Structure 1
């Protein structure tokens, strides 16, 4: 047996071992097929997203730890009518993937890997989008009946509660397009409208493989074994600020 085969087998058995360990869980977004976008009334007011004050965050997990960073929001707007959010669309610049927990060559290496075809294939799919399909009040009865553990993550047997949103006010559903694949996600969020400004915060988990974000199949058994060493769960968070006025231009 040559060294290459030993390396592949080692990765394979390591993948089997790690797949049996505790994986991140809780606060998962509900994922379904893409939904139709209802036309927003012409009487609704548009709030332009302030891209310098807004942020999209991500946290990826592996058996030995985690990495975190941000992705740039290119533009967006939120539609408000009668004091409620009734729609919105955001354009995400995948070229602005940033790794925050590493520095120097390690930061560059992971950033380039995330941009590659192994993950987000940024050269072919430079833009991701999120378009709201529905917004509902968050039920206090549901919130009261929810187990505390549902709103927390467990990583390597360590409870991590900073990856869940506190005091959700609304349940938001929207079509999330990543790498050319569009699925509908539903998650709790904290939304506030006050003094001509909308703020919205959320943190939830998605399975990256549902959007094809994984090692390419043509890379062979070794690549797929490596993929097993990275948890499918990715925690996504956003902190959006939008102000009344003309929305910024968006890609259709």
Structure 2
């Protein structure tokens, strides 16, 4: 049986900031949809050692970046197309990189795991389940939105698109027990050596119940204690058939 390798890169930008100008733009979001069928498809096991979520968080005075691990997952390929799949994200594995060795990383990691953000004690896993895959069309992208201006305002969706997107991948993103369907632009490439995909995108974190210092309070904006709701989520995933991993 033909072996496939999947690098599914959706690099994350977790954008937060204390202040509000032109940058932002989130992907299309709707109610959860039926998960895509993997019938008659080749199943690829996600290589968790080579797979992770990456993130960058911003505020007016600076930015933070880090990773979150992938605990399990599988991708389904039929012929020359990605048709289904899911990944499980280990929230407790969240790591801050920019403050590593400076004493602040552990504090930030603990805060992100707290009920004010991901509530890892009650919701230790997040998940992304593919519901549909279609050809990319720039005309179908949601328009960028205006956001409060600061030195670290989140990048516009149009600014973080992966180079030469080829497909839209729709999937249910489950965070804190809330499942919503998102449609993300991706570059998908199939060769004799396998399948690769890359993407970058923004979401509105408040829709998943992550509302710490969100944009709803004008008073907080005036006090520079405002956190952008615009969040870019993504994954760096590699998967292959079981036989190729042995």
TM-score interval (norm. to shorter)? 0.7 to 0.9
Aligned counterparts, 1:171-210, within 5 A: 171-210=168-207
- Give the match for residue 127 of structure 1: 125
Shift of 1:53: 2.0
Return the index of the structure with the highest Cα Rg: 1
Do 1:60 and 1:235's aligned partners in 2 also have CA atoms closer than 8 Å?
no
Moved runs in structure 1, 4+ residues, more than 4 A? 157-162, 222-228
Do 1:204 and 1:236's aligned partners in 2 also have CA atoms closer than 8 Å?
yes
Shift of 1:23: 6.0
| Unaligned ranges ≥5, structure 2 | 1-17
- Give the match for residue 10 of structure 2: none
Shift of 1:155: 6.6
Shift of 1:206: 0.8
Shift of 1:89: 0.6
State the distance in 2 between where 1:224 and 1:36 align: 39
Paired residues, number: 219
Q: Choose between structure 1 and 2: higher helix proportion.
A: 1
Greater mean deviation of Cα atoms: 108-117 or 60-69: 60-69
Aligned counterparts, 1:65-104, within 5 A: 65-103=62-100, 104=102
- Give the match for residue 150 of structure 2: 156
For each residue in 1:54-90, what CA deviation from the matched residue of structure 2 results, as whole angstroms up to 9, or x when unmatched? 2211222222232221110111111001210110010
Secondary structure at the residue paired with 1:85?
Answer: strand
Q: Within the alignment, does 1:107 sit opposite 2:105 as a pair?
A: yes
Shift of 1:227: 9.7
State the distance in 2 between where 1:170 and 1:25 align: 21
TM-score (norm 2): 0.77
- Give the match for residue 136 of structure 1: 134
State the distance in 2 between where 1:226 and 1:125 align: 31
Secondary structure at the residue paired with 1:129?
Answer: strand
Secondary structure at the residue paired with 1:209?
Answer: helix
- Give the match for residue 118 of structure 1: 116
Classify 1:114/1:99 alpha carbon distance in 2 versus 1 (closer, same or farther; 3 Å).
Answer: same
State the distance in 1 between where 2:125 and 2:222 align: 28
State the distance in 1 between where 2:88 and 2:224 align: 28
Over aligned residues, Cα RMSD in angstroms?
3.4
TM-score (norm 1): 0.75
State the distance in 2 between where 1:121 and 1:227 align: 24
- Give the match for residue 11 of structure 1: none
